[in-house]
Amino acid sequence: MKIDINCDMGESFGRYKLGLDEEVIKLISSANVGCGFHAGDPHVMRKTVDMAKQHGVGVGAHPGLPDLLGFGRREMKVSPEELKDYCIYQIGALKAFVEIAGMKLQHVKMHGALLNMGLANEELAVAMCEATKDINPDLIWVTFSGIRTVEIARSIDLKVIQEFYADRAYNADKTLVSRKTPGAVLKDPQQISARINQLIETGTVTTLDGQPLKLAYDSICVHGDTPGALEIIRTIRGIMADHNIAIKPMAELV
């Protein structure tokens, strides 16, 4: 049994530092690296890629909206053509750093508001998936478990990794509860542990309104920008060890 742990990284910008990348990188198997639109800059990208290489972590592109001020979390009415080109630009830029480091770009995962925009608008979802495939048909498409974009990606022959959000509450339709809703973000390691144990043992998560929800999963998504982040990730690693599940970059899972 194998599983991947993925985390957003490289979201610092210039003098602004975000996240505990230097610590988190040692505990995960795949990194979603900011590409300079919602966060990240060329220098941060290089350093993040180099750290990932050093620790055997798979590198993916984490494209966002051109909204540094809003950290890519505010939906924008971009056209599918614009979005496709924004994704190609960002993935291409990161790919250059990855290849210079002697690695292969592993995956693509959308950031922030792009996730919701892809769920709400099929044309935008297709644009994202096509950008990924156009760059390289071997790239892995990473997204929430059980979501429409899983099918869209598969329909154009992209390999898909479905992820479980360890620290976010779920709606019954398998989407994440909005950050604005109380209870949306989990911070208690024990609560997170219980959820992951449940997921491994029953294949389900309990939604915010108390219903069990069956979820496929290949990867656990964690976050590295909260004070308790390291403890949460270590807890997850412990659970995986207890269940004899090896933590491996998603390239080894598809």
Q: Does 85 bind a copy of itself (CB under 8 A)?
A: yes
Q: Does 179 bind a copy of itself (CB under 8 A)?
A: no
Rg of the chain taking only CA atoms, in angstroms = 17
Main-chain dihedrals φ then ψ at residue 32, nearest 5 degrees: -95, 110
- Pick the binder of a copy of itself from 23, 26, 54, 100 (CB under 8 A): 100
- Binding-site size for a copy of itself (CB under 8 A) equals 42
**Residue appearing with tokens 């390999």:** 159
Cα–Cα distances in Å, from 244 out to 9, 39, 193, 217, 238? 27, 36, 16, 16, 10
Q: Does 80 bind a copy of itself (CB under 8 A)?
A: no
Q: Does 46 bind a copy of itself (CB under 8 A)?
A: yes
Nearest to 48 by CA among 73, 72, 19, 70: 19
Q: List the beta bridge partners of residue 6.
A: 30, 221
Least distance CB 16 / a copy of itself (angstroms)? 4
Q: Does 227 bind a copy of itself (CB under 8 A)?
A: no
Nearest to 22 by CA among 50, 41, 43, 42: 50
Binding mask 21-40 for a copy of itself (x = CB under 8 A): ---------------x--x-
Q: Are 52 and 30 in contact (CB under 8 A)?
A: no
Q: Does 14 bind a copy of itself (CB under 8 A)?
A: yes
Q: Does 70 bind a copy of itself (CB under 8 A)?
A: yes
- Pick the binder of a copy of itself from 62, 95, 174, 223 (CB under 8 A): 95
Q: Does 18 bind a copy of itself (CB under 8 A)?
A: yes
Q: Does 67 bind a copy of itself (CB under 8 A)?
A: yes
Euclidean distance between CA atoms 118 and 102, whole angstroms: 32
- Where along the sequence are the contacts to a copy of itself (CB under 8 A)? 13-18, 36, 39, 41-43, 45-46, 66-71, 74-78, 81-82, 85-86, 88-97, 100, 113, 134-135
